[in-house]
Structure 1
């Protein structure tokens, strides 16, 4: 397998759009269990491991089905479904044809999904039973069929696999929609594989069998990367689906799957870890987990410490290898546009570098913290906008060149993160640029950093959202929304701890509210939609 990994890394034909083809050409074992889905697939029961041969055969059936409906090279096809199997099998099938799968998070509201599809101006869309309501809208493209039909094609009649160039578009994913409408992000054959080539195929293979569980949204760029890197590394992977229902029940399914499938590694977004914080993990059997891998937003210290106390890891001693309590948490700051996380930070029991530290950049990433007015780099210790140069960066936004160019400055892609760097070369994310508030005289309210410090100072708070805005008179105000742990007293005065968390911005605190989970507006990927929260809060203040 080590020779296969090296061969795949060196073969520049390999990319995100042809992993199955390249594994076959390089002689990968076709019979070993590779991918497991938590839903039935074409009569194959849920939880049945797919070998590379079975996976390829099921993908070929879908490629023939799409080809029979006229789909071919460069045709954008939207996929609006629930199960991870429907996302990934149709992704592989469309790239087989040289088409461009536009993967949509199944949690996107139907009305917004319809507007998003219209803007794609694609060839067609595939839905499932959960999303059949999309058929009622004027989409500007036909509904090609239900996802349950796509596997009925004849795999023996699938056309030859398309041969990709590195710059060919192979996927359209979308941003989290935390501000307004989700934005369509286009990825190339090489950009969506660059980190796998540079890091995942060259790093040391973990000891023993590797079994990875992905709780990432399958339709996200991170979902595609994780399944492709598992296939290329020869790891086994379980791809969970967003089955709907409450966040609590969805998160409990993750715990159930860990106990059932016994993974050594678990992938998720920051929201996954905040939801796991509602459970007493000591009552669950999580001993198989060695590593928790996070991407998207920086994870909160309190949630990280909750996880690394669970699981186990291997240590070598004078008496040989031993399994010891405690796991590792790898925090990787990333986004759809970044293509892959640019930073990584490893936490373990006893580590103490938190306060929204995202670590150091990966070797493939060139990072600069910029003053967006002058374009110059800011000095150590000063907050600037994160600029990124990396082969992973998405080429741009689909059908929106204006947005593409607005995010470029001095040859860098502006990630939208406000960060500073310390003397040791570690980077810290303090907020998103759209959420921070300038209070004047060099003072800023950084909402994400405030949330981090409030959570650290209030152990009975499970999650926290700080919303900053300007009132009708133009003055800065901040509201703090707290979601409490079960049994916590909602009437307890937490004002002192919250003001300490806000620091120099404490004077703009307007109110503190204890809220339920449903009172916090989330986007399709679980991120807080602070743009909507600001509108709601200001509207409520006007009514009062």
Structure 2
């Protein structure tokens, strides 16, 4: 098939969007029997790791749409999807979108207590699609009155009884995803038919990326980035594999088994891989690592680009070189897609939390607290205006409008830009603490500095609290191989920090098992650590004190 022609025609189709992509491709009738989508768990009678064609995918999606319609699901009904397997998340999304309902995808790693509260308060959804692992847990949390649909039964629907595909308007809500929940109850983020497809459409107008083929997605399958990756793969006629787990050991096994060319994930997985000697694993198929969500740390990026291979243009033509490419991009559920990009190879050296330049569809500003634009070099809040932005927060118009100023979405990130137009990320607004005299503890920037200066440190988490007349900062370190800290480690950590920040350090701790509280996406829940620091627990009993 002529993929170049297909991509151009899809980009020019004004009706195409996230909600009708599969049905549009089926109607076009091209490449329907080619391998398209692979799951790591069985689907009905289809075994794991055996690719599905578009025809097979359409059959299974239509069967699920028919069963959901038989159960009374109708257009614009919000339906919670709380399952573990990537296959169940993807197929439920496609089936619900086909009938015009609004799937609310919930990370299967989210604790049942938070999930139940999220369903009640954020979604107010009367229907929950769930699996055996989560069903009883939700009932134990008081959701017995909800209509529970067993995801394992949906494949038994009769595709012939499915209603006609829903005709989406560009602004129709097409999926609800949620924030990471590191500060408390996750927020429900609503995406539209066109907004979640805007960046995909833009990519279709550009030459197809050389490393786009054979994509492995190791993102949490309930995340908006999974939906985007699914759209990217289907539009570009490339094979895609979706993983249900994101831990490093599993990911490495999958890479060796499935042989992807590109791997898409979050920074938490790259951190997990940082403790593995990649030379002992066969990663020769990988040409590119794609990161979204939080920007990645320099040592973790350098670790990954040392593996795999890449192709470069030379005076003698295209040549294969050792080492891969890492494409970093800052994004969030609310942004709908990463808004910045920067490419790293073994030969590049633009780090120090540089997130690159904005995409051409992105208008990025740096605001002070009064929404006045700041000049280059000054830290402020990141504001984004882009066609990818979500509709807002489901059932929470107040929060939706509180995060909008002057037509821009305030992301909650603190950044600055330089004169060349590159942006640098220093922290999340909720995690930074004002020291006074123009100085701040930027916890993410401090982590970056420590990791870069202390190669024996595998991971670093910095938390700070401000109390009347005092700022206290605690640094928690995970060492390579779980080793004991060297005598000069505290001095090295202090030297890596700016002097005003180093003066606030109340303790440098080794983070043993169970000390760091992680959220569903693998992020450290700093809000809980701040509570423990204020209560005295963190410096008292929760970790081994180095200083």
**Structure 1 residue 144, shift from structure 2 partner:** 3.3
Q: Distance in 1 between matches of 2:454 and 2:190?
A: 41
Q: Is the 8 A contact 1:127 1:143 kept in 2?
A: no
Q: Is the 8 A contact 1:115 1:139 kept in 2?
A: no
Residue 72 of structure 2 aligns with which residue? 70
User: How far has the Cα of 1:376 moved from its partner?
Assistant: 1.1
Please, which of 270, 275, 278 is the counterpart of residue 278 of structure 1? 275
In structure 2, C-alpha distance between the alignment counterparts of 1:231 and 1:543, rounded to whole Å: 50
Deviations along 1:363-387, whole A, 9 cap, x unmatched? 00000100122x1111110001000
Q: Which of 496, 504, 514 matches 1:501?
A: 496
Partners of 2:211 and 2:288 within 8 A in 1 = no
Question: Following superposition of structure 1 onto structure 2, how do residues 64-463 of structure 1 map, counting pairs within 5 Å?
Answer: 64-119=66-121, 120-132=123-135, 133-139=137-143, 142-198=146-202, 200-207=203-210, 210-242=213-245, 250-317=247-314, 320-373=317-370, 375-463=371-459
Structure 1: gaps of 5 or more residues = none
1:466 is aligned to: 462
Find the aligned partners of 1:64 and 1:341 in 2 and give their Cα distance: 34
Cα distance between partner residues in 1 of 2:439 and 2:372: 20
Distance apart, 1:322 and its partner CA: 3.3
Number of equivalences:
535
Match of residue 33 from structure 1: 35
Conservation of the 8 A alpha-carbon contact between 2:434 and 2:466: no
Q: 1:208 to 1:226 in 2, by over 3 A?
A: closer
> In 2, distance between residues paired with 1:95 and 1:517?
41
Q: Distance in 2 between matches of 1:208 and 1:495?
A: 42
Which whole-Å CA distance do the structure 2 matches of 1:406 and 1:283 have between them?
A: 50
Counterpart position of 1:488: 483
**Cα separation, partners in 2 of 1:369 and 1:208, compared to 1, 3 Å:** closer
State the Cα distance separating 1:210 from its structure 2 match: 1.2
Q: Corresponding residue for 2:543?
A: none
Where 1:165 maps in the other structure, the secondary structure is: coil
In structure 2, stretches of 5+ residues that fail to align are: 541-547
Q: How far apart are the structure 1 equivalents of 2:508 and 2:372?
A: 38
In structure 2, C-alpha distance between the alignment counterparts of 1:411 and 1:188, rounded to whole Å = 18
Assess, with a 3 A threshold, how the Cα gap between structure 1 residues 318 and 371 changes in structure 2: closer, same or farther. closer
C-alpha RMSD of matched pairs (Å) = 1.6
TM score, norm. by length of structure 1 = 0.96
Structure 1 position 207, deviation (Å): 4.1
| Contact map agreement 1:118 1:140 (CA 8 A) in 2 | no
For residues 474 and 130 of structure 1, the distance between their equivalents in structure 2, rounded to whole angstroms, comes to 49
Assess if the C-alpha contact under 8 Å between 1:298 and 1:332 holds in 2: yes
1:348-406 deviation per Cα after TM superposition (whole angstroms, max 9, x unaligned): 01111100000000000000100122x11111100010000001111110111111111
